[in-house]
Amino acid sequence: MLPNDNTSTAELETLTAERHSMVEQQLRRRGITDQRVLEAMRSVPRHEFVSRQDWPQAYADHPVVIAEQQTTSQPYIIAAMLQAAEIKPGDRVLEIGAGSGYQTALLAELAGQVFAIERYSSLVEASRQVLDRLGYHNIAVVAGDGSLGLPAAAPYDVIIVSAAAPHIPAALVEQLASGGRLVIPVGDSSQQVLKLVRKRAEGVSETALEGCRFVPLIGQGGFGA
């Protein structure tokens, strides 16, 4: 991976130390045990996906604001979603709400192929540039209504939704492969519950994981256009 050309050796060492501390203090100590998730979050430079002025907050235990009044989620909640999804090396994954591309990079570390949808074309272009520079080539990022999924590339072994929906969009469940997992925050615009949906031959099951708070999923299957 190629770091930002303007990053000094001292800055890079500090950011690397902060990233490793994030993994140990925020993730492992709070119950993240999946070693592949921990290693991915130890590897991916989160600071590259936020503005330079926010680098001091890149590895802090809270969301960071990005462009278009969106956020990249708290590291712990990202790790919790990835752990719940049980992503395998050969999995095909659909990400709803790519944002700045940080979670997209984590998914690329964990899965075989990643398709990501983002509502804002400006974020699509920005995330593509960073992901390309860091050497992630098993990713396709497109602009569109994430609440409708991406049927052209379905089915998916895993779907991760990084925005809150008022209900579980039927289109996303339909696009899951048999044995597939969908992780999605469900609730109103102020408070949600993270849910794990499993699709099996005998039917679909839902498990409530923990409380959370995300920006709203805008689209036909979300909170409207």
Q: Which of 158, 110, 157 lies closest to 136, judged by CA? A: 110
Q: 3-7, 15-19, 120-124, 199-203: which range is least confident on average?
A: 3-7
Whether residue 85 is contained in a domain is answered as: yes
Residues 44-103 have pLDDT tens digits of 999 999 999 999 999 999 999 999 888 899 999 999 999 999 999 999 999 999 999 999
Quote the CA–CA distance of 137 and 177 in Å, as a whole number. Answer: 23
Whether residue 126 is contained in a domain is answered as: yes
Residues 176-190 have pLDDT tens digits of 999 999 999 999 988
Given the structure tokens 């979603």, which residue do they identify?
A: 81
Quote the CA–CA distance of 137 and 114 in Å, as a whole number. Answer: 9
Whether residue 224 is contained in a domain is answered as: no
pLDDT at 26: 97
Residues annotated catalytic, as ranges = 73
Task: List C-alpha distances in Å: 178 to 90, 155, 172.
Answer: 15, 9, 13
Quote the CA–CA distance of 46 and 40 in Å, as a whole number. Answer: 11
Q: What is the mean pLDDT of residues 102-113?
A: 98
Q: Assign residue 68 a region: left if phi > 0, alpha if psi is -120 to 50, beta otherwise?
A: left
Whether residue 166 is contained in a domain is answered as: yes
Residues 19-49 have pLDDT tens digits of 999 999 999 999 999 999 999 999 999 999 9
CATH assignment at residue 197: 3.40.50.150
Tell me the pTM.
Answer: 0.93
In the chain the beta strands, taken as DSSP E runs, fall at: 64-65, 71-72, 92-96, 113-118, 139-143, 156-161, 176-187, 192-200, 203-212
Whether residue 3 is contained in a domain is answered as: no
The residues pairing with 164 across neighbouring beta strands, listed in sequence order, are 216
Which amino acid is present at 80? A
SS3 92: strand
Domain that holds residue 81: 63-212
Whether residue 72 is contained in a domain is answered as: yes
The residues pairing with 66 across neighbouring beta strands, listed in sequence order, are none
Q: Domains in the chain: how many in total?
A: 1
